[in-house]
Amino acid sequence: MSQPIFFAHANGFPSATYGKLFAALAPDYRVLHLDQHGHDPAFPVDDNWGNLVEELLHHLCLGGEPVWGVGHSLGGVLHYHAALRCPELYRGVVMLDSPVLTLADRMVIRAAKRFGFIDRITPAGRTLGRREAFADLAEARDYFAGKALFRRFDPDCLDAYVQHGLKPAERGLRLRFDAATEISIYRSVPHVAPGKPRQLAVPLAMVRGRHSRVVLPHHARSLRYMPRAEYHQLPGGHMFPLERPQDTAALLRQLFGRWDAAREVSA
């Protein structure tokens, strides 16, 4: 019987964008996910992502059994915070280029919010005023293919983003991910957590893209305080799950298989 994975996406990238990664995990794992985090009016974006964690926990509780929590960027942080609060909902957590922030990181973020320069240290500033409308899918694909963020995407993942990241508008197409929501998520990046790293009661892996500018070597320090934590790297940058979906799936399989075996030995 397949094991459940609950996948949480990066900010601005609907879950369907990761379809090639999900397919590479089948049939041994069935991937559950929300289409878009932060778009349910019952869980509006708030500071430190408290409501986003509540939204995730709400859906995890509906599943009826513990999951492997896998998240990219935003999604990895949400799973980490959720697992600190409700470890019984998890088999383990994998953070794909998601940092566990150090005290120094949190102090900088708190100051940035207080003194108004948060847009300079998060992607919020780059999101303001970006292009949202396109005549058709071909124009959109050409546009995104020329952007640095998308340049190394697996072609199937780029196609999936264009297909699922846009929606019909009065004239042509528009981005599906609400721009104001995306910016709000960046501006409310957590400077607090619901617990300390040593309190995490499930295994965790932080996987960094080798050329990432989001997860940096110093973020691995927090893992030293967790009972069962490990650090890995894969080729690529911050978007490596969409650049190397097959490699990402292979590492997830290896991690879950090893953690399952260790649990059986200790049972």
- Say which residue the tokens 């915070």 belong to: 81
Q: How much is the average pLDDT of 119-133?
A: 89
**Residue 129's pLDDT is what?**
78
| pTM reported for the whole predicted model | 0.97
Cα 245 from Cα 2, distance rounded (Å): 20
Contact predicate 206/223, CB 8 Å: yes
Q: Helix (H, G, I), strand (E, B), or coil: what is residue 38?
A: coil
Query: What is the overall mean pLDDT for the chain?
Result: 96
Does residue 266 carry a pLDDT above 80?
A: no
Banded pLDDT at 71 (limits 50, 70, 90): very high
Give the closest residue to 238 by CA, choosing from 205, 206, 212, 210: 212
pLDDT top residue among 266 and 59: 59
Q: Helix (H, G, I), strand (E, B), or coil: what is residue 81?
A: helix
**Residue 267's pLDDT is what?**
64
All domains of the chain, ordered by start, with CATH?
3-266 (3.40.50.1820)
